[in-house]
Amino acid sequence: MYYFDWELFWRYIWPPSAFQDPLLRAGLVVTIVVSIVAQALGVGFGLLAALGKMSKFAGFRWLADGYIWYFRGTPLLVQMSLLFFGLGVTHIYDFPDIRLGILTISGAIQAGTLALAINEGAYMAEIIRAGIESIDPGQMEAAKSLGMNYSLAMRRIILPQAARVIIPPLGNEFNNMMKTTSLLQVISASELFFAFNQANARLFKPFELFIAASLYYLALTTIWSFIQSRIEARVGERKGATQRPGLWQRFLSGGTKGAH
């Protein structure tokens, strides 16, 4: 019969005691910051790829298609390893640490964030394109007939409307993103899961520690669900948009799909 070490378990899920471990404290911050930065960059890459896919220039379409094909068709873990270890060994880019005042961003975190962002962009591209294509073509015609060029019409007329369609799946992508950052531990980026792995290497209590780790991620995604439903309610209220699933329904579904 396995002896469950409650004392250790509580110590690791009760924040005041858990955060005495500097690795865990930093790990939580890294996980949150990396998620936000990677998702934001991913939206940027996705927007570029979506516009590329809809471009009238064949070169841009091929570029966007190739990007989406490769990054959706290969595992994120492989992409991340290729970027960090692969580029490192060629000395094309070594991912040196970046110092910002007292803050040091390790090469592993940079590479991991970039890999997450590039991978995410390939998924966001399809979400953004679907959002743009859901807008009645008459909107673009009306904008053009008023003398707007393509980019002005996109920014002021099409994208604000497409955002209403894009925001719900974007929220789900961010939910996934927070969980997927745990892959960064394979390139030794000091995020949340890395901190628990280090603790486990010291204490060898994988059952207690990894349950504790899972609860941190659950807390993050649950808080995000709250924020997400508030955002969606705000975006939807003006035009009496369709009813979103209720809060409880959303918590229990825990996001929509596994990590990419």
- Interacting residue ranges for another protein, rule: CB under 8 A: 136, 138-139, 141-150, 152, 156-157, 160-161, 238-240
Whichever of 142 and 203 has its CB closer to another protein, that residue is: 142
Q: In the complex, what is the shortest distance from the CB of residue 56 to another protein, in angstroms, rounded to a whole number?
A: 11
Report in angstroms how near the CB of residue 133 gets to another protein at its nearest.
16
Taking CA atoms, 131 is separated from 159, 161, 196, 204, in Å, by: 8, 8, 39, 48
Tokens (6 digits) for 137: 């073509």
Angle at 70 between CA 64 and CA 72, to 5 degrees: 95
Whole-number minimum distance, CB 165 to another protein, in Å? 12
CB under 8 Å, gap of 24 or more: what pairs does 77-81 form? 77/183, 77/186, 79/115, 79/118, 79/119, 80/111, 80/112, 80/115, 80/116, 80/183, 80/184, 80/186, 80/187, 81/186, 81/187
Nearer residue to another protein within complex by CB, 156 or 234: 156
Other beta carbons less than 10 A from residue 184's beta carbon: 28
CB of 171 to another protein, least distance (A): 19
Identify whether the C-beta of residue 125 lies closer than 8 Å to the C-beta of residue 64: yes
**Min CB(140)–another protein separation in Å:** 9
Nearest approach in angstroms of CB 150 to another protein is 6
Smallest distance from the beta carbon of 204 to another protein, in angstroms?
A: 57
For another protein, the closer of residues 90 and 145 by Cβ is: 145
Which residue in this structure is represented by tokens 């995020």? Answer: 191
| Cβ-based nearer residue to another protein, 115 or 162 | 162
Nearer to another protein, 139 or 188 (CB): 139
Q: Between 98 and 142, whose beta carbon lies closer to another protein?
A: 142
Q: Which residue's CB is nearer to another protein, number 94 or number 133?
A: 133
